[in-house]
Structure 1
Amino acid sequence: MNHFDVIIIGGGTSGMMAAISAAENGAKVAIIDKNRMLGKKLRLTGGGRCNVTNNRPPEEIINFIPGNGKFLYSAFSQFTNYDIMEFFETNGVPLKEEDHGRLFPVENTSKAIVEGLAKKLKELNVEIITKTIVRSIKEENGQISSVVTDLNEEYFAPCVVLTTGGKTFQYTGSTGDGYKFAKKFGHTITPLFATESPIKSKNQFVVDKTLQGLSLRDIKLSVLNNKNKVIVAHEMDLLFTHFGVSGPAALRCSMFVNQELDKGISEVPLSLDALPEMEEADLLKEINQRIIDQGSKSVKNGLKNLLPERYLEFMLSEAEIDSSNSLKQLTEGEKEAFISNVKDFKFTGYDTYPLDKSFVTGGGVELKEISPKTMESKLVNGLFFAGELLDVNGYTGGYNITAAFVTGHVAGKHAAEIASYFNY
């Protein structure tokens, strides 16, 4: 009864897909998960709506996975984001596309995604063992043989797929168990760090909560090095908070902030361009035209709609411009200071949210020790890895879930193939 071909440890995004893939390839499969139900973290993604994948071409998807995305080329040659879309469409979970190619379930709830996966697991007779913690994984002569749980139950299988997640949202069960198992078999764990995380700042406007709660659309946020050169820049939305900045632009920049902080510096320079579609010369032309058209209006009213009102007032204050003066009173120096701030407002980040409060774990199982074609360990036969446990991390926008589904599918397929050799 406790004998299987493939055992999946962890019933999240990659775990469920690995189980489905293994079962579709003829394996007798079990999922062991510590939670009461599968997909606990998946239910939280996309604000509870689940941004399940992205509609960009597969080669572009890899470009949006800055943390070792190239490792996934072989996996993507076997299963892509388009296959993920087809999987859900053919299993009764229609998807809809939103901005930046992001795909969500039409039902607008992550529950639809989890239920679609659960329904498929049931169809394929995958055994689901919940509220159970795996304590150890056994091997004999370099080959995986079984797993032992906290209830001293032993489940036998020649192949185990580790899909226990990283160390983010630890209350969902992602407490780093997989790293311990990987280490036991000699695997290296690269340093873990928070990515897709809000950025903390000590700048005065943050301390004073001047902009708290303000959201800016389609700005450009850049991370700079100590020579003021741009390391990375993202044009997306930004949210000012009580601790710093959040929103898609900040989340995408956070990995690079952490990498700079790891070099021993205390604060990382950031630059905010509130109007990335306009060059400085175009902005000056716009201001001068407004002076011609409505020069007697106050600066605040004359420049209305150029920026959101609160941010406009802040920019005027930063440029030391009296917003009640008439527009025609603006000096060339004031225009220059204002434009400089709008296009290149400098502030710093000193930290990001910690791992357990971030969206994605950077770092993980060293990829040189894993076969990119099969996701199997190069150190022990029958041990496979998938999902956030790997040293792979992408931006928000469906890229991390895509990587989890793709690596899960590939690991499950090859685990089933290896396990089939033991049945002869």
Structure 2
Amino acid sequence: MTKPFDTIIIGGGPAGMMAAISSCFYGQKTLLIEKNKKLGKKLAGTGGGRCNVTNNGDLDDLMAGIPGNGRFLYSVFSQFDNHDIIAFFEENGVALKVEDHGRVFPKTDKSRTIIDCLERKINALGGQMLTQTEVVSVKKIDGLFHLKAANQEFSCQKLIVTTGGKSYPSTGSTGFGHEIARHFKLNITELEAAESPLLTDFPHKTLQGISLDDVTLRYGKHLITHDLLFTHFGLSGPAALRLSSFVKGGEIVELDFLPTQSQDALNAFFEAHRDKTVKNALKQLLPERLADFLAQDFPKPLKQLTPRETSSLLTNLKAFPIQITGKMSLAKSFVTKGGVELKEIDPKTLESKKVPGLHFAGEVLDINAHTGGFNITAALCTGWVAGSVHIQ
């Protein structure tokens, strides 16, 4: 027997949960289907398990934080934005705090606080949730969508696909939403890793484990200033993850270890410490192991450096070249770049232009954002807007 609903949402991540809340809020008989045991499996691991739920910046900050087709979201943000997210959680009993770079977390430092809040709201509004239920097929017949799971069938007037991309498949993001889109003859853009650690030809063992605050990675017109971590394979941390949206492998990027210091300021520093060895002088500016690494070609006092050597040292400090050899695989990256082509989607409603009643929200769309709360912001906001559209 087929169970009828007004709206069904496939995928219980942040976009799906918020779509269910919005749909229920607007009076729709709503079902949220998730194949995992619990809702929000990927959300549970974000922000190191603390859940960086949004960013408190203005619209320009949001656009800067969403390099992958962020402009498409202008209509979405005019209806529901990051400040609405903050208000939503505070109004529903979640105390929030703002950390560096505008990152917003629950004061509990637990992602479960966010997930529980969303679940409670769905329940309070009368929505139904089915976990451990995997949809295997979707068809549209006589104006209704028909969904099949293992032992159940459902129908609805409006279907919202919030199944995520293909990053971290262990969380359930297998690309099923893209299969639904293809079934209905929608285009899918090329999928690749974004917000991905970078593989480099760097001397990994020498610098492995060194963490730097607010350095600048530069590639062409792209300048990313944020924290950076040297790893056994290359570069990680927010600066590397953000730059990964613009590189594929084979590029040379430049690292400015001291972006707040101009070359003139560094020359003045060299003069003030001219009697010290390069290594001992640099230890006042940088972590000891990094200072040792950068000074290894200059085993003498600063005052003995030739003009060419001084210039070379400055270059290493302000524009150290690093060869990018690749990125982590899509399965090990935080975000999927690519997805349902946006030309196919109405930006005001997130409804397919070809298939009435079929909506997409979250990472299944060809939108990718930086870590720091921007991806979850895009997911929650697109979820709300997709769920709020009234069935005619």
**TM-score (ref. length: structure 1):** 0.90
- Mapping of 1:185-200 within 5 angstroms? 185-200=184-199
- Mapping of 1:21-420 within 5 angstroms? 21-141=22-142, 143-151=143-151, 153-203=152-202, 205-206=203-204, 209-223=205-219, 230-258=220-248, 261=249, 267-291=250-274, 295=275, 297-317=276-296, 320-322=297-299, 325-414=300-389, 417-418=390-391
Task: Report the 3-state secondary structure (helix = DSSP H, G, I; strand = E; otherwise coil) of the residue aligned with 1:217.
Answer: strand
The AA in structure 2 aligned to 1:313 is D
2: CA distance, partners of 1:57 / 1:199: 29
Q: Which moved more, 1:160-169 or 1:210-219?
A: 210-219
2: CA distance, partners of 1:113 / 1:131: 21
CA contact (8 A) 1:137 1:144 kept: no
The AA in structure 2 aligned to 1:170 is P
Number of residue equivalences: 391
The AA in structure 1 aligned to 2:324 is G
List per-residue Cα deviations over 1:100-150 (Å, max 9, x = no partner): 111000000101000110110110121111111111112124x34321112
Cα drift, residue 381 of structure 1: 1.2
1: CA distance, partners of 2:41 / 2:28: 25
The AA in structure 2 aligned to 1:241 is T
The AA in structure 2 aligned to 1:285 is A
1: CA distance, partners of 2:257 / 2:88: 40
Name structure 1 gaps, 5 residues minimum.
Answer: 224-229, 262-266
2: CA distance, partners of 1:395 / 1:9: 24
2: CA distance, partners of 1:383 / 1:288: 67
2: CA distance, partners of 1:55 / 1:169: 26
Cα drift, residue 301 of structure 1: 2.4
The AA in structure 2 aligned to 1:321 is F
List per-residue Cα deviations over 1:317-336 (Å, max 9, x = no partner): 2xx211xx344333333222
1: CA distance, partners of 2:64 / 2:285: 33
1: CA distance, partners of 2:14 / 2:42: 8
2: CA distance, partners of 1:28 / 1:35: 22
The AA in structure 2 aligned to 1:185 is F
Cα drift, residue 280 of structure 1: 1.4
List per-residue Cα deviations over 1:74-94 (Å, max 9, x = no partner): 111110111000000011111
2: CA distance, partners of 1:105 / 1:348: 38
Task: Report the 3-state secondary structure (helix = DSSP H, G, I; strand = E; otherwise coil) of the residue aligned with 1:371.
Answer: coil
1: CA distance, partners of 2:228 / 2:118: 33
1: CA distance, partners of 2:347 / 2:281: 58
The AA in structure 1 aligned to 2:201 is K
1: CA distance, partners of 2:3 / 2:270: 75
CA contact (8 A) 1:195 1:362 kept: yes
Cα drift, residue 303 of structure 1: 3.6
List per-residue Cα deviations over 1:162-196 (Å, max 9, x = no partner): 00000011011100000001100000000001000
Name structure 2 gaps, 5 residues minimum.
Answer: none
1: CA distance, partners of 2:144 / 2:224: 44
The AA in structure 2 aligned to 1:210 is T
The AA in structure 2 aligned to 1:175 is T
List per-residue Cα deviations over 1:236-271 (Å, max 9, x = no partner): 11111111111110000001112xx5xxxxx11110
CA contact (8 A) 1:146 1:158 kept: no
Task: Report the 3-state secondary structure (helix = DSSP H, G, I; strand = E; otherwise coil) of the residue aligned with 1:287.
Answer: helix
2: CA distance, partners of 1:180 / 1:237: 37
1: CA distance, partners of 2:12 / 2:122: 11
Cα drift, residue 44 of structure 1: 0.5
Share of identical aligned residues, percent?
A: 50
